Amino acid sequence: MFLFKKILITVIVFASSFIVNAQRNEVGIFLGTSYYLGDLNPSKQFFLAKPAGGIIYRYTISSHWNLKFNGLLGSIQGADSLSKANVQRNLSFKSSLLEASMQLEYNFLPYITGGKGINNITPYIFTGLAIFHFNPMAEYDGVWYALQPVGTEGQRTAESTLKPYALTQVSIPFGLGFKYSLRNKICIGAEWAMRKTFTGYIDDVSGTYDDPTVITAECGTAAAALSNRSKQSSGQKEDDAGLKRGDGKSDWYSFAGVFITYRFKINGDKVCPTEHNRK
């Protein structure tokens, strides 16, 4: 979490340098939803989507290119019992989700908010780099546990070769949207973007079941119960140690929603005409 805050401050300072010196600036808010794809929801888009929101700063490089900084807050969740992908496994989680990102946008049509003689609407695509913080949790016996400190796949046992996964990681956002220039200084629009991550543990599920007797002895009965919920739902008694718990693939998450930004002037800046207009 400390690393996330440090990088977020760096991003804000970097964006502020553009605000001080740039001639085309927009700031605004984003409102929408967040959701995840992974072991507990393999394929259903917008499944169990939760409210999300954040702030946007956009710097207009040209009528086709923009640099954007986002700070977004959302939450995600998943459950085998709801997705029906692996009901027998019976795992579930929820997590907060914090993200700071820098993205490069490409407008398909020449567009500048408040620009004269050019398009006032355009579709666009974007990609970039993000850092995000998550913290998967699950409920057992009426108590919510943070799962990373528990080590549900044996990460906290003495003989395990697995290390606890990091709660702050990097992702690659990419998506599409459209924007519309409303009057001279207001831009409204909508966008949808997926985030490619490099971890399979957003949902705390990726590898294999560990020995329940070892987890119980070293981490406690709650840790063992959170590691394997299938026995609670089916009455199975066999030892599942070494059997597949997750698919080992990287998880994904998404933000989708609408935004509104306000273009403001600094030092009397003006929206320059395009080459086409000058001709």
- Region of poorest pLDDT, from 124-133, 162-171, 217-226, 269-278: 269-278
- Burial class of residue 110, CB neighbours in 10 A (0-12, 13-18, 19+): middle
- What's the pLDDT band for 279 if we cut at 50, 70, 90? very low
CA distances from 16 to 10, 26, 56, 279 (A): 10, 12, 12, 34
Residue 79 lies in a domain: yes
Mean pLDDT of 213-234: 87
Residue 127 lies in a domain: yes
Residue 233 lies in a domain: no
pLDDT at 61: 94
CB neighbours of 17 closer than 8 A, spacing ≥ 6?
A: none
Q: pLDDT by residue (tens digit) across 90-118? A: 999 999 999 999 999 999 999 999 888 88
Backbone angles phi, psi at 122, to 5 degrees: -160, 145
- What's the pLDDT band for 221 if we cut at 50, 70, 90? very high
**In whole angstroms, what is the distance from residue 5 CA to residue 66 CA?**
25
**In whole angstroms, what is the distance from residue 224 CA to residue 238 CA?**
14
Q: pLDDT by residue (tens digit) across 37-86? A: 999 999 999 999 999 999 999 999 999 999 999 999 999 999 999 999 89
The identity of residue 165, as a single letter, is Y
Asked whether 166 and 133 are in contact (CB, 8 A), the reply is: no
Residue 17 lies in a domain: yes
238 has a pLDDT exceeding 80:
no
Residue 173 lies in a domain: yes
Mean pLDDT of 136-165: 94
Widest Cα–Cα separation across the chain: 79
22 has a pLDDT exceeding 80:
no
CA trace torsion 196, 147, 89, 203 (10° rounding): -10
- Region of poorest pLDDT, from 6-15, 116-125, 243-252: 6-15
Mean pLDDT of 186-193: 97
Residue 111 lies in a domain: yes
Residue 208 lies in a domain: no
Residue 209 lies in a domain: no
Determine the structural domain holding residue 91 and report its residue range: 2-136+165-200+250-278
The identity of residue 146, as a single letter, is A
- Kindly report the three-state secondary structure assignment for every residue of 201-269: CCCCCCCECCCHHHHHHHHCHHHHHHHCCHHHHHCCCCCCCCCECCCCCCCEEEEEEEEEEEEECCCCC
**In whole angstroms, what is the distance from residue 53 CA to residue 61 CA?**
25
Residue with tokens 């990726």: 206
- What's the pLDDT band for 207 if we cut at 50, 70, 90? very high
265 has a pLDDT exceeding 50:
yes
CATH of the domain at 117: 2.40.160.20
- Burial class of residue 250, CB neighbours in 10 A (0-12, 13-18, 19+): middle
The number of distinct structural domains making up the chain is 1
What does pLDDT average to over the chain?
A: 88
